[in-house]
Amino acid sequence: MVARRWSRRVLVAMAAAVALLWPTAAAADYTFYRTAPHTGACWKYVSAYGGVYQVTSVLLNGTSATHTARVQVYRPGTGIIQDHTQTATASQWKVFPIAHVAAIPKDEFRYYLNGALVVKLPAAALPYYMNNCQTTESSSVKIRQAISYGMSKLDAHYTGCNAGSYRMGGVAAADMWFDGSRCGQSVYLLPKGHAGFDCSGLIYKMFQAAGVPFSYQSSAAMAALPAVSKSQIRVGDLLVNPGHHVAMYLGDGDGDGRASVLEATPARILREFWSGGKLHREAIGVVISDAGPYLSSSAYTARRVPGT
């Protein structure tokens, strides 16, 4: 399929090109599946009912012809449960009604252009192939590449501080438990076949993936980066509490007045139990969160990575 074959770097470059043609497109960092015309989507995760992805789809017609796009949600055993069509004449931008793609029934998201299937993704695959609507597009190619890497790791497991290379995206060959009690954390499970991150491990890998010289592997080390005023913070800057946490600022992509961050934190606890006097947890870690608490806290300072 087209979306699976293309690299994240290509998708981000395409989104940047669209932003130049349609300034309003920069308000949300959509994943674009093809050009001429552009077909795109972004998603928002809702934890109710076992997990529902609210997908916003768009058709940006930069051609001289008229094009028709169709978005469907297919549910096994039921059939098509949502079906919307939009037609765009030359230079038109069309936005579809929100498609609700549920995880437990194993819904499937489908996007057709002029009758041809462009995208066919099950709910379980959405976090790995679509960007979140809350991300404001950066003017920096390096930042866009870093964010693309981070977005591709959404819903990855949280490992805690004591996971060595496994806190930087390492994939476990067997179920592994990492005791984070030395830094005030729980004992975290990284299941076999899964990649994991902690907060600084994610940030380190994001800049590494973007080709940015970045040797900082802890939040304490990242506090040495050049400081910027929070009033001047921009997409890609880091919010750092030395020795405790770090998150990347994403801006206010959906225009609701609340900025977001991309971070690795034990956001969704899948299971937990006590053993040997220590709390053991399995948690989803790479998530998009409200930036408000970090922006308002004096414990967090804004830092900018040189060269971005």
198-234 pLDDT, tens digit per residue, is: 999 999 999 999 999 999 999 999 999 999 999 999 9
Instruction: Locate 92 and state its tokens.
Output: 């038109």
Predicted local distance difference test score (pLDDT) of residue 18: 32
What count of other Cβ atoms lies within 10 Å of the Cβ of residue 293? 13
Instruction: Locate 121 and state its tokens.
Output: 């993704």
Predicted local distance difference test score (pLDDT) of residue 107: 97
Q: What is the mean pLDDT of residues 177-184?
A: 92
pLDDT of 3 strictly over 80: no
3-state secondary structure of 108: strand
End-to-end alpha carbon distance in the chain: 32
According to CATH, what is the number of the domain 141-303? 3.90.1720.10
Strand pairing report for 131-132 and 38-46: parallel
6-58 pLDDT, tens digit per residue, is: 233 333 333 333 332 222 222 345 666 676 788 888 888 888 888 899 999 98
Instruction: Locate 100 and state its tokens.
Output: 């609700």
pLDDT of 149 strictly over 90: no
Architecture of domain 2-132: Sandwich (2.60)
Instruction: Locate 208 and state its tokens.
Output: 């590494």
Instruction: Locate 192 and state its tokens.
Output: 């076999």
Q: Phi first, then psi: give them for residue 279, nearest 5 degrees.
A: -80, 125
Q: Which residue has the tokens 């995208």?
A: 119
Mean pLDDT for the chain? 86
109-119 pLDDT, tens digit per residue, is: 999 999 999 88
3-state secondary structure of 214: coil
pLDDT of 253 strictly over 80: no
Q: Element (H or E) spanning 179, and its range? A: strand 176-179
3-state secondary structure of 33: strand
Enumerate the domain spans of the chain: 2-132, 141-303
Does the pTM surpass 0.85? The reply is no
Q: Are 69 and 39 in contact (CB under 8 A)?
A: yes
Q: Element (H or E) spanning 19, and its range? A: helix 8-21
